[in-house]
A and B are shown apart, each in its own frame.
Chain A
Amino acid sequence: MSTRVEPGHDPGLSTTAERRAVVGQAGAMPGKEWVIVTRGLKREYDMGGEVVRALRGVDLAIRRNEYVAIMGPSGSGKSTLMNLIGCLDTPTAGEYWLSGDLVSQKSDDELARVRNREIGFVFQTFNLLPRATALHNVELPLVYAGVPAAERRRRATEALERVQLGDRVSHRPNELSGGQRQRVAIARALVNNPSILLADEPTGNLDSQTSEEIMKVFEELATQGQTVIMVTHEPDIAAHARRVIILRDGVVASDDRGEAFAAKVGL
């Protein structure tokens, strides 16, 4: 690990040198402190004869407890990258190490297990089951993890209390505001203690005040030690993160600290 300290270096954040070092060791399992390491990640689609190269070799290293935003214009491949990080998809080439586990070539069933244990999704459209209560929505990952009913209920209730919704456990999504729904989604994402919280445009369907509330929640979770990865196209949302990665044309174009990025875009 490098001892060089960059000006204004955030001690929690990995340095460029550190990242380059771990990415460079092709085939080697990264150290325990690295939650995500990708090496030359490629994803190509065959669209009726034409090959679309959504990702053309993405190298990433994200350490535990980092709060990262991934940005990029449409066509940059950020959605594809998010799907790969979230283990919803497998890469055409390259390595993806998640918490020391090489997930890039796992089977569907194995990926489902990884999603259940390691990944907490938060979607733009909340994606809650409309006919289930908040409690049951939050219980869902535990159901698929095989946790017995009583323990499930306890942990789900705790997760809802963590997001200040302890009094709304029996409400259905249509009885909750947008902000509350997203908080239920966040509780659901956290209930299984995942390695990463993966949020896709988490404030896309929320007004600015509610957006700020949700950003505060993410901030708090990051302070408590959760690794948070947020995909967004809004610069002022991205600026909340401590590290901003910008994708362009299927590769990483820039990787800055949050403040540097904010300065760049004039926030």
Chain B
Amino acid sequence: MPFLEAVRLALAQIRVQKLKSFFTLLGVMIGVMFLIAVVSIVEGMGRYMEQDFVGKLMGINTFELRRQPNIQLGDVTEATWREWQRRPRIRMSDVQPVVSVLPAGTRWSTSSSDNVRAETDYQRLREVQATAVSGDYFTIKKMGVQEGRLPTPQEMELGTPVLVIGEEAAKRFFPNVSPVGRRMRIAGQPYTVIGVAERQGSIFGISLDRFLIGPEQSPLIRLVNPHGVVDEITVQAPTVQVMDESMELVRQVMRGRRKLRPSQPDNFDISTSESALAFWNKIKAKMVIASVVLPAFGLVVGAIVIMNIMLVAVAERTREIGIRKSLGARRRDILAQFLVEAATLSTVGAAVGIALGIALSQAVAAFSPLPATVVPWSIAAGTLVGAGVGILAGIYPASRAARLDPIAALRQE
């Protein structure tokens, strides 16, 4: 019996018993739906991590020298944390030796952050994150202004009390007015706002625009760090090779300054967006596996349901099978008929599951901070899985149908 005939027959069978078919397919539907949705979410998160998250927090070909890793994607043990706390901090006195070994074409900056309490004529004392910077901070961060200007090199050198503030901070502290030229008081010290930074966006729903940035030489530094200490030295290289080269040079300088013996590990951290991503890639692999294994359970259940429904169908249609055999259907004709029926049933369920999965991913992307991108391979996988589940589930019932004795089958009610 030609394939298309069998498929048409199977579809007619589904149409005749819509409700029963629906329940039969529930397992496959749900399994495939979750496959699509979870894979999309994992994929979306991956893209987000690689492009937005890490890209926003760390630039390309950029590395940071810190006491401990900045972006930690995962659980850190107590022991590790304590070891980190015992490490010496990066100091301003480290800047010159580090910078002196950097090859031509690189840029560097320092930054130190903490929460401070600030107030303006329009807003009472309120906590906000403040960062004291030096060097090419704004260039490395690719941060421009939507209003006003960035600090001049003189202001940076002299430590003039000026601030560049984020868009959200501007709205909070200077509602309905332009902050440029106005004053903000931090710990009694007045600062002049000279610029509002371009919007940085958000990560997982958390705004990146609630900040104040001022020169390291200004009084701001004393509020964010103890004397002589910086949080990080950031270096940006023109190419990956220069970055790798620079990282090694800086490591050697720091090891020298800390008088570390060859057998001792670094007591500082140099990380790039890659090391931050490395952890993500580790868990991404696990998440992709989970996203396949978990729906697999739904599919196994779906397969068992389909098998049982097909067994019942074969039993109910024993007479029909007898009739077909008496008219000349061979074993393989009957086998094919029921296999195609099971596979068609299952594929229809998978198709519905794919549609639901796409809808679910889009709902998740719209209503939650989680991003989700539907991946074409998951749709193909869902379809194949659907057909495959049907065929596997149908083998046993179909072979039973094929082996029926026509005489006995014809006698059935």
- Answer whether A115 and B331 are a contact pair too, CB < 8 Å, given A127-B410, A129-B323, A144-B1: no
What DSSP secondary structure best describes chain B's contact surface?
helix
- Answer whether A113 and B327 are a contact pair too, CB < 8 Å, given A88-B407, A89-B407, A144-B1: no
Contact yes or no, B330 A129, CB < 8 A: no
CB-CB nearest in chain B for A121: B326
Q: In the complex, which residues of chain B have a beta carbon less than 8 angstroms from the beta carbon of A88?
A: 325-326, 406-407
Chain B count of residues within 8 A CB distance of the other chain: 22
Chain A count of residues within 8 A CB distance of the other chain: 25
- Answer whether A113 and B330 are a contact pair too, CB < 8 Å, given A127-B319, A129-B323: yes
Contact yes or no, A108 B328, CB < 8 A: no
Which of A108, A117, A145 has most chain B Cβ within 10 Å?
A108
**Cβ-based interface call for B320 (8 A):** yes
- Answer whether A109 and B331 are a contact pair too, CB < 8 Å, given A88-B326, A88-B406: yes
Q: In the complex, which residues of chain A have a beta carbon less than 8 angstroms from the beta carbon of B333?
A: 112, 144
Q: In the complex, which residues of chain B have a beta carbon less than 8 angstroms from the beta carbon of A113?
A: 328, 330
Contact yes or no, B327 A131, CB < 8 A: no
CA distance A228 to B46 in the complex (A): 75
Contact yes or no, B319 A115, CB < 8 A: no
CB-CB nearest in chain B for A188: B327
Contact yes or no, A141 B323, CB < 8 A: no
Chain B's nearest CB lies how many Å from the CB of A199?
A: 13
CB-CB nearest in chain B for A129: B320
**Cβ-based interface call for A193 (8 A):** no
Interface residues of A in 123-153 (CB under 8 A from B): 123, 127-129, 131, 140-141, 143-146
Q: In the complex, which residues of chain B have a beta carbon less than 8 angstroms from the beta carbon of A210?
A: none
Q: In the complex, which residues of chain A have a beta carbon less than 8 angstroms from the beta carbon of B410?
A: 123, 127
Q: In the complex, which residues of chain A have a beta carbon less than 8 angstroms from the beta carbon of B406?
A: 88
**Cβ-based interface call for A86 (8 A):** yes
Chain B's nearest CB lies how many Å from the CB of A195?
A: 13
Q: Which residues of A contact B (CB under 8 A)?
A: 83, 86, 88-89, 108-109, 112-113, 115-117, 121, 123, 127-129, 131, 140-141, 143-146, 188, 192
Knowing that A127-B322, A144-B330 touch, tell me 15 more A-B residue pairs with CB under 8 angstroms: A86-B326, A89-B407, A109-B330, A112-B333, A113-B328, A115-B325, A115-B327, A116-B327, A127-B410, A140-B324, A140-B327, A144-B324, A144-B327, A144-B328, A192-B328
A-B interface, 4 closest residue pairs, ranked by CB to CB distance from nearest:
A116-B328, A144-B328, A112-B330, A127-B323
22 interchain pairs, CB-CB under 8 A: A88-B325, A88-B407, A108-B330, A112-B325, A112-B328, A112-B329, A112-B331, A112-B333, A115-B328, A116-B327, A116-B328, A117-B328, A123-B410, A127-B322, A127-B323, A127-B326, A127-B410, A131-B16, A141-B327, A141-B328, A143-B5, A144-B329
